[in-house]
Amino acid sequence: MDTVYITEYDYPSLEIEQKMFREIGIPFIPTQSHSENDIIKNCKDAAGLMVQYAHITEKIMSSLPNLKVIARYGVGVDNVDLEAATKHHICVANVPDYSIDEVSTQAIALMLDCWRRVTFLHNSIHQGHWDYAIAQPIWRLRGHKLGLVGFGKIAREVAVKAQALGLEVLSYDPYVQPESMRAMGVLYQPFYQLLREADIISLHTPLTKETYHCINSDTLGLMKASAILINTARGPLVDEKALQTALTNHQIAGAGLDVLEVEPIRSDNGFLSMDNVVLTPHVSWYSEESNKEMKTKAAMGIIEVLQGRAPTYLVNKDVLPYLSLK
């Protein structure tokens, strides 16, 4: 009989997944297996793996002979070796559309917080100050330029919300035609030109070999001294040491970060002592509604494959010719 395992998770409840698998008679076993060896040991007969943060490597795949499908809780699949999955005829599914509203809203919230210096002023009041002047200068938001790095579903929603605030929106995405941007009132700009022109840079690109540390000392050097960087995508898009240097030296004005290179944040991370950085704990995906949708769709990706169907949200489509799925 096919068995499904969760490699690891930090959710307080698995009731949604448990109910879905129970109703179709598939055994469902949660584990807290974070390492390669633990996953191989604890999930050895898995037909399906549900994964949150664990890295699913070729070694794991080659050690689980019954494995047919891996489902990632979330959008990004940079923790799954897609090439190896296709090689081993394993489907990889994700949930690409569950938190578009949430992530785009978080990006806007971080922009507004940094621009209006909300958290900085809040903290200053708690330190005994009542003086708006310590936040000077604050500029009117309307009429300034927002640069979106990436123009997928989330970035498009950010564009709509930002335009309602009076921002002029620019974007760079090598995989999207400029005409598609223009149709939404967004101006295509080459990457380096976007960095030079935008007053706010917001990252909305997946983590790949090409995008790793795309924000680094060189690219930060192109940005305006008054510019703000927002990251609700993936932590390793940003070279944190370079960003800390840029913030300390006032090369840029501030940053709003929901994701970091290492999570949870380490106690010695330099961002913790900076008053021009707003941090949130990788929360941009979350609402009660999006949490339910993510869990339901991730579980359904497993169920579809085990019932002989191609998953709705198949990532490695190159695997299909090797499989007999409806």
What digits encode the pLDDT tens for the residues 11-44?
999 999 999 999 999 999 999 999 999 999 999 9
Residue of 55, 89, 282, 293 marked active site: 282
Q: Domain check: are 86 and 107 in the same one?
A: no
End-to-end CA distance of the chain: 20
Specify the pLDDT at position 111: 98
Q: In this structure, are residues 226 and 201 in contact, taking their beta carbons and an 8 Å threshold?
A: no
Q: Which domain holds residue 223?
A: 100-279
Specify the pLDDT at position 109: 98
Of 32, 26, 51, 83, nearest to 208 (Cα)? 83
Specify the pLDDT at position 181: 98
Q: Domain check: are 272 and 171 in the same one?
A: yes
Q: Domain check: are 146 and 40 in the same one?
A: no
Distance CA 52, CA 61 (A): 16
DSSP string, 67-120: --EEEESSS--TTB-HHHHHHTT-EEE--TTSSHHHHHHHHHHHHHHHHHTHHH
Average pLDDT over residues 148-155: 98
Write out the two tokens for 5.
Answer: 């395992």
Q: Could you report the per-residue pLDDT of 96-138, keeping only the tens digit for each?
A: 999 999 999 999 999 999 999 999 999 999 999 999 999 999 9
> Which amino acid, residue 270?
G
- Is 234 one of the catalytic residues? yes
Q: Domain check: are 260 and 154 in the same one?
A: yes
89: left (phi over 0), alpha (psi -120 to 50) or beta: left
Q: pLDDT class for 220, splitting at 50, 70, 90?
A: very high
**Given 3-state DSSP classes, what are the helix, strand and coil percentages for the chain, each rounded to the nearest 5?**
40, 15, 45
Q: Is 71 exposed, middle or buried (0-12, 13-18, 19+ CB in 10 A)?
A: buried
Q: Could you report the per-residue pLDDT of 57-88, keeping only the tens digit for each?
A: 999 999 999 999 999 999 999 999 999 999 99
- Is 116 one of the catalytic residues? no
Q: Domain check: are 192 and 246 in the same one?
A: yes
- Mean predicted lDDT score pLDDT of the chain: 97
Q: Domain check: are 218 and 265 in the same one?
A: yes
Q: Domain check: are 234 and 114 in the same one?
A: yes
137: left (phi over 0), alpha (psi -120 to 50) or beta: beta
Residue of 8, 234, 240, 304 marked active site: 234
Q: Domain check: are 41 and 82 in the same one?
A: yes
188 φ, ψ (degrees, to nearest 5): -70, 135
Specify the pLDDT at position 123: 97
Q: Domain check: are 74 and 199 in the same one?
A: no
Average pLDDT over residues 236-251: 98
How far does CA 244 lie from the centroid of its chain?
21
What are the residue ranges of helices labelled H in the chain?
Answer: 15-23, 36-42, 58-63, 82-87, 100-116, 118-126, 153-164, 178-182, 191-197, 217-220, 240-248, 288-306
Specify the pLDDT at position 1: 84
- Is 168 one of the catalytic residues? no
Distance CA 76, CA 152 (A): 13
Angle between helices 100-116 and 153-164 in degrees, nearest 10: 50
Strand order from edge to edge, sheet including 28-30: 28-30, 4-6, 48-51, 69-72, 91-93
Residue 284 has pLDDT above 90, yes or no: yes
Residue of 15, 263, 266, 289 marked active site: 263
Q: Domain check: are 106 and 245 in the same one?
A: yes
Q: pLDDT class for 279, splitting at 50, 70, 90?
A: very high
Specify the pLDDT at position 310: 97
Q: Domain check: are 198 and 295 in the same one?
A: no
State how many domains the chain has.
2
Specify the pLDDT at position 265: 98
Q: Domain check: are 39 and 126 in the same one?
A: no
Average pLDDT over residues 140-166: 98
Write the CATH number for 204.
Answer: 3.40.50.720
